[in-house]
Amino acid sequence: MTLKSLLLGAAASTVLSPMAMAERGSDGHVGIIYWQAPSSLNPYLSGGTKEIEAASLMLEPLIRFDPTGKLVPFLAEEVPTVENGGVSADLTSLTYTLKEGLLWSDGTPLTTADVAFTAEYCMHPEGGCAQSHKYDSVKEIEVVDDRTVVVHFKEPQPYPYSTFVGNQAPIIQKAQFAECLGARAPECTDANFGPIGTGPFVVTDFRPNDVIQLEANPNYRDPDKPAFATMTFKGGGDATAAGRAVLETGEFDYAWNLQLAPDVLANMEAGGKGKLVSAFGTLVERIEMNMTDPSPDLSREIRATREAPHPILTDLAVRKALSMAIDRDLLVEIGYGQAGRPTCNLVPGPEVYASDNTDCLTQDVEGAKALLEEAGWVDSDGDGVRDKDGKKLSLLFQTSTNAVRQDFQALIKQWWSDIGVETELRNIDASIFFGGDAGSDDTFQKFYADVEMYANNFDGTDPQAYLARYRCGTEPSPSSQWQGTNINRFCDPEYDAMIDELAKTADLDKRSELAKKMNDVLTKDTYTVVPLVDRGRVSAHSLSLGGVALNTWDSEIWNAADWFRIK
Amino acid sequence: MLTFTIRRLVLSIPTLLFISLVIFLLLNLAPGDPMANVPITVPDEVKQRMREALGLGESVYVRFYKWMVQFFWIEPQVLIDHYFGTTFSEGKLRVISWQTRSPVMDIVVQRLPQTLWVVGMSYVVGVLIALPIGIISAYRQYSVFDQVGTFISMLGFSVPTFFTGVLLIVIFSVKLGWFPSIYDTTLVVNSWETFLAQLRQMVMPVFVLALYNASQISRFMRASMLDNLNQDYVRTARAKGLSEKVVVLVHVLRNSMIPVVTVIALGVPQVFGGAIITEQVFKVNGIGQLLITSLQANDLPMVQTLTFIFALLIVLFNLIADVLYGVLDPRIRYD
Amino acid sequence: MTEPTEKVIPGSGGATPAGALTEPVPVAPVRSKWRDVWDQFKIHKGAVLGGIVFLLIVLSVFLGPLLWSIDPSYIDIRARNQGPSLAHPFGTDQLGRDTLARMMAGGQTSVFVGITAMALSLLLGTLIGVLAGFFRKLDGILMRLTDLFLALPLLPLLLVMVMLFRAPLSAAFGPETGIFILIVTAIGLTSWMPTARIVRGDVLTLKEREFVLAARSIGTNNTKMITRHILPNVISPIMVSATLGIANAIITESALSFLGLGFPPDFPTWGRLLFDSVDYLQQYPERVMWPGVAISLTVLSVNYLGDGLRDALDPRIRGR
């Protein structure tokens, strides 16, 4: 956390010092480049990060996360809590009060009718809303008056902040989207491409997968903001070109997510036109161990299901040794540089939930060998591969096709061969690996391999749903059409009990303690999940752009209203 | 001639229908998933609902039929509405892209200008360079000029554009800072400065593509000139005492242009198809970039429509090339 | 679409001085014809040079690993990102793998893809061309098929094919072999048409020649006729197509790899190496130069070779 707080401190000081209290539009033009171009500006129709972040310039939620992961009110007057009476004592309802005098960018007032409509829009069964999981727990939205709205939940929510919270669930205008409910949603092209919002900017021209032109919102609630009169939001190309455009040629002011080799980035930064900023969220690159047997010799009914336990990986010593053989520092250095740090945690942040688990950080090849030796895995036939009871330590290691992941695979294969484990590598096109097609044998859910590597994270700052993924019975299996969240087929009644307890606990300290314990069960106690790298965000901004506060908990450009030109 | 053209036009209809079916079936064999780019934090049930909202629940035949109706019946109505202000297409469902959830044709129309500017300009420049080079190379066969010209044109289609493009960016945008590395599609040319800006951002992509086009066309031009230079009629013309200039530039050139013109016509559809790699390298978000991004996102309606438009243009320009051939070369008679 | 080409050949073919030398005289012994070809080929300096360079590249790529025995996939993490040195003449990559070894391994794939795809496209093209030219009944339908294929938008289609079938094929044959089969087939299937048309045109004219009539009059059957009399005489356009086909296939493969649709990242090919090193262009320009130059040089030499062959074998089809 030290790096982040340092960066934040730096960002905060730049915000404060040269604040020449500019007026709206006085700083001219600003250019943002996202190397993946947004295809729509309606976050409810497209779940992609690029669309959600682009839309966050126009659309705002009631409350959202700041760079430290704390909730801050945006359209609401304050963050409702049990203490201030915003959350009912039985945790079944949440009351929001809107700020006074809020206007849409077209000049009409924003009322709770818009808030209620937003929920109706996303909860419509035919709409295919990409964020509907944010509204799953809602029973009813009750409009009390123009500024007060109550969200009633189906059941008590110890952590109630998902509906209307964060960049994925912003408020849309009822007048604009009223005709776009359900199946008619994609027909409203004008609305989807230029949503009327309350944010600092207004779309003047949107070209899908290419570029967005914006101008300052004349009705933005702070009369002095935004400092920029116009904005260009360019998309497309690749991370290298985006980095070059900000750091070397200075064509743009802000470049998003520069996932590049560290030495390439360092070289670009030496160009002297801009600087890199990074921050960490909850995205963890990990190796998942398959607790079930993926052998193709098994019948399709029991292959990779709990009925067929894995012949080798059910041995804790093997899993632990595999983890010990990995040099995480080197992986970070090669793959992510500034945008990564080694981790042993499944939940690496926010700070309150991060366990102090660091035992995996040092590579220990000898220790791993000894551990295997002790557990009876010896190389009895002299072919360099350990075996026990006629079972060879031979693994199939799969991941999605991606240059960094293939580098990781090659390195890990070499380390594992050092401790006498034979590895076969396989990579699968990302659109299939993550595609979720039950008919394909190559999805990460089906897990027809011994170990697999990918990255996952959770929305917002609360890990409850994320940790609940490992509940026994939620594993993908033939009977669930291979849908399910418990990828490892981990099964432990004690862990399930902790999940239930977490769902009932509202006290933050207790939640934190429990979540850390659950994290440890999955990682250092059982090595079911072997975390490798905590993947942060590296973005770049030009030296003349002030006010940037990189946020990994919400939209990266969440505070574009505060950006200004350093003169 | 007219009957030939009409016959060919009629014949091309089943060809096109067949092509559209082939493309459609090919795409629908795809194991990919349009939801693959949605973050894995979005639950599976939500993704399933989104898929259904895209119409993926229906059978292939129904989807093909719907696409045919939308493309051949509704889209032309939209076009008519656009030009004459009528309201034929009101309330009818157009071909909708899965990725943007907006009409495919609108995006195509939006992308065309930059593709036509860059790829079209490079084609024109390429042709303008290629013709004189081809003529001189042939006239002075095996001279130094011919050798150098041959070498350059060989280089032109041997060195891949993704190599030359990247090289140019590093030299001219990063090191020298002369040209922008990212193409600005929103630039409106309305003054001398904007014209210069447009020119500057077009220089590198146009150069790369023009080199490639010029190499090919100059080879054709050279070969065609060589074929003609040794013909009897050239000897006759010279014997009549016509000046060398008239012989080469009037007699030989006119006949040599016949096959070259058809080759140029055949290349036009590629202009509309955009240059996938060059657009990618120089960030010209045109048709080529649209195709590759929609392929990556598994946006089948978009891919289907784009490939079919290419097919349409190729068939059309093949026909134009044939007709041109007939018009230019009196020896060809289509009866 | 086919009519004009067919009719124009006799007109534009004309007796050129160079052509007179190589015009295959039917009764002349075969040996002297190839001698003429060789004489003509020798004049074309570029072609000879191209041939030598191409041969050298092929030899070094396939025999080089015998001399340079570093495993291209061996990771020496301490020696990563090194410039050219004695231990690593071409330097090392970001994982410390030897670039020279990877270039040779990549070259094997690239050249092999080129040759195999060319062979497939030639096979298809010659088969269809000969059948269409020889059997009048098949002509219409086969040429319609050729036209249909020519009307397909090839590059997009190639991309679509690679996108769609990479998963099933790599599942069936393993990632490398699967992609190899896919790329070779895709390139072969989309590039046979020019060969077919040229071969058909030649077969049509050959069919009217006296030696074919003579062979027919002594009762030669069709199979014999094609293999003994027709094929040897259309070998020249096929050879020219072959060289162009290799060049085309190598470029196509590297373009696919460059778009990230080719071989998997851990499997080197020249296109893939180029794609991976583009990011490092500024720090380690040599890393981009090696594969870039290798691709360009191979294609250039093959194109020169083809150009010379064309001049030597059949000046009439120059430029087509």
The domain segmentation of chain A, as residue ranges, is 280-536
pLDDT of res. A400: 83
B200 vs A459 pLDDT, higher one: B200
What kind and span of H or E run contains A464? helix A464-467
- Residues C26-46 have a mean pLDDT of 65
Asked, for residue C146, whether it belongs to a domain, the answer is yes
User: Domain containing B197: what range?
Assistant: 2-41+111-328
**DSSP string for C176-231:** HHHHHHHHHHHHHHTS-HHHHHHHHHHHHHHHTSHHHHHHHHTT--HHHIIIIIIG
User: Is the pLDDT confidence value at A566 over 80?
Assistant: yes
The 10s digit of each residue's pLDDT in A439-452 is 677 788 888 899 99
What value does the mean pLDDT take over residues A148-153?
A: 92
Residue B37's pLDDT band, with cuts at 50, 70 and 90, is low
Contacts of C201 (CB under 8 A, 6+ apart): C5, C6, C9, C133
Q: Is residue C114 part of a domain?
A: yes
Amino acid at B216: Q
Rg (CA), chain A: 25
Give the mean pLDDT of A524-539: 90
Task: Identify any residues that bridge with C255 across adjacent strands, giving them in sequence order.
Answer: none
Contact A524, A344 (CB under 8 A): yes
Residue C11 confidence (pLDDT) = 34
The answer to whether residue C21 is domain-embedded is no
Q: List the structure tokens of A541.
A: 């901004």
Whether C29 is covered by a domain: the verdict is no
Locus of tokens 């799953």: A136
Band (pLDDT 50/70/90 cuts) for residue C15 is very low
Q: In what order do the strands lie in the sheet with A93-97?
A: A93-97, A148-153, A138-145
| Contact between residue B257 and residue B242 where contact means Cβ atoms under 8 Å apart | no
C-alpha closest to that of A135 among A156, A120, A157:
A120
List the domain range (segments joined by +) for residue C139: 44-70+92-313
pLDDT greater than 50 at residue A20: no
Tens of pLDDT along B88-142?
A: 777 677 777 877 778 888 888 888 888 888 888 888 999 998 998 888 888 887 7
Q: Which of A267, A406, A428 is opposite residue C266, by nearest beta carbon?
A: A406
* pLDDT surpasses 80 at C78: no
Lowest mean pLDDT among A113-117, A166-170, B172-176, C112-116: B172-176
Any domain includes B156: yes
Is the pLDDT higher at A559 or at A23? A559
* pLDDT (0 to 100) of residue A117: 92
Q: Considering CB atoms only, which of C165, C300, C319 is closest to B222?
A: C319
Q: Which amino acid is at A172?
A: I
B252 pLDDT higher than 80:
yes
Report the alpha-carbon angle A496-A290-B39, nearest 5. Answer: 75
Shortest distance, CA B188 to any CA of chain C (angstroms): 30
Determine, yes or no, domain membership for B262.
Answer: yes
Q: What is the mean pLDDT of residues C211-230?
A: 84
Range from A96-105, A194-203, C233-242, C310-319 carrying the lowest mean pLDDT:
C310-319
Q: Does C94 contact chain A (CB < 8 Å)?
A: yes
Is A365 an interface residue toward C (CB < 8 Å)? no
DSSP string, A408-440: HHHHHHHHHHHTT-EEEEEEE-HHHHTT--TT-
d(CA A292, nearest CA chain C) in Å: 21
Q: For residues B198 and A92, give the distance between their C-alpha atoms in angstroms, rounded to a whole number.
A: 59
* One-letter amino acid for residue B34 of the chain: P
Using a CB–CB cutoff of 8 Å, tell me whether A352 touches chain B: no
pLDDT digits (tens, 9 = 90+) for C250-297: 888 888 887 777 777 778 888 888 888 877 777 787 888 888 888 888
**Residues forming a β-bridge with A234:** A33, A211
Average pLDDT over residues A158-179: 88
Of B160, B332, B309, nearest in space to B262 by CA: B332
In a domain? residue C320: no
End-to-end CA distance of chain A: 31
pLDDT tens-digit map of C158-172: 877 777 777 677 767
Can you give the CATH number for the domain in which B20 is found? 1.10.3720.10
Nearest to B212 by CA among B260, B263, B163, B159: B159
Residue type, B250: V
Residue C301 within any structural domain of the chain: yes
Beta-ladder partners of A542: A274
User: What pLDDT does residue A322 have?
Assistant: 93
- Highest average pLDDT, of A434-448, C113-127, C304-318, comes from C113-127
Model confidence at C3, in pLDDT bands (50, 70, 90)? very low
Residues in B closer than 8 angstroms to C13, CB to CB, are 227
> What average pLDDT does this structure show over C183-191?
87
Residue C158 DSSP code: H
Which chains lie within 8 Å of chain B at 3 or more CB pairs, if any? A, C
Query: Quick check: C159 and B331 CB within 8 A?
Result: no
Q: What is the mean pLDDT of residues A290-319?
A: 88
Note whether A400 and A433 are within 8 A (CB): yes
Domain count, chain B: 1
On whether the CB atoms of residues C88 and C216 are closer than 8 A, the answer is: no
Least confident of A242-256, A491-505, B88-102, B176-190: B88-102
Q: Give the pLDDT confidence of A392-447 residue by residue, as tens digits.
A: 888 899 988 777 888 899 899 989 999 999 888 887 777 677 766 666 777 888 88
- B160 has pLDDT over 80: yes
Percent of chain A whose predicted confidence (pLDDT) is above 70: 95
CA atoms within 13 A on the CB side of B280: 21
The letter for the amino acid at C34 is W
Q: Distance (Å, rounded) from C-alpha A561 to C-alpha A201?
A: 8
CA distances from A519 to A344, A362, A555 (A): 10, 19, 26
The rounded radius of gyration (Å) of the Cα atoms in chain B is 24
Domain count, chain C: 1
Domain covering A280-536: architecture: Roll (3.10)
- Which residues on chain A are in Cβ contact (under 8 Å) with C94? 261, 334, 407
Lowest mean pLDDT, pick from A8-12, A224-228, B106-110, B292-296? A8-12
Q: Is the pLDDT of residue A370 over 90?
A: yes
Average pLDDT of every residue of chain C? 78
pLDDT of residue A254: 93
pLDDT band (50, 70, 90) for residue A8: very low
Statement: residue C28 has pLDDT above 50 = no
Q: Does A183 touch chain B if contact means CB atoms closer than 8 Å?
A: yes
Put simply, the chain A residues between 376 and 415 with a CB less than 8 A from any chain B CB are none
C73·A410 Cβ contact <8 A: yes
For residue range A207-221, list pLDDT tens digits in order.
888 889 999 999 998
CB contact under 8 A, B15 and C17: no
Q: Is the pLDDT of residue A34 over 90?
A: no
Give the list of residues 6+ apart from residue C235 with CB closer than 8 angstroms, or none.
Answer: none
Give the residue-averaged pLDDT of A484-511.
Answer: 88
Does residue C9 or residue A330 have the better pLDDT? A330
Q: Which of B80-94, B234-248, C83-97 has the lowest mean pLDDT?
A: B80-94
Give me the mean pLDDT over the B142-158 stretch: 83
pLDDT attached to residue A12: 44
Provide mean pLDDT across the span B51-76. 77
Pick the residue of A50, A123, A210 with the most B CBs within 10 A to test the interface with B by mutation.
A210
Q: How far is C298 from chain B (nearest CA, A)?
A: 8
Q: Across residues A250-254, what is the average pLDDT?
A: 89
Residue A86 has pLDDT above 90, yes or no: no
C163, part of any domain? yes
Average pLDDT, integer, range B65-69: 82
Instruction: Give the CATH number, domain containing residue C270.
Output: 1.10.3720.10
pLDDT of residue A261: 78
How high is the pLDDT of residue A534?
92
Kindly report the number of other CB atoms within 10 A of residue A402's CB atom.
22
Whether C282 and A267 lie within 8 Å, measured CB to CB: yes
Residue-level pLDDT at C315: 46
Write down the ipTM of this complex: 0.73
Find chains touching chain C: ≥3 CB pairs under 8 Å. A, B
Contacts of A244 in chain B (CB under 8 A): 173-174, 181
Q: Say what the pLDDT of residue C16 is.
A: 38
* pLDDT above 80: residue A183: no
CB contacts < 8 A, A to C, total 53
Residue B64 pLDDT: 83
CA distances C266 to A327, A417, B163, Å, are 20, 17, 21
Mean pLDDT of chain A: 86
Q: Which amino acid, one-letter code, is at C27?
A: V
Average pLDDT over residues A31-50: 84
Distance of CA C82 to the CA centre of its chain: 35
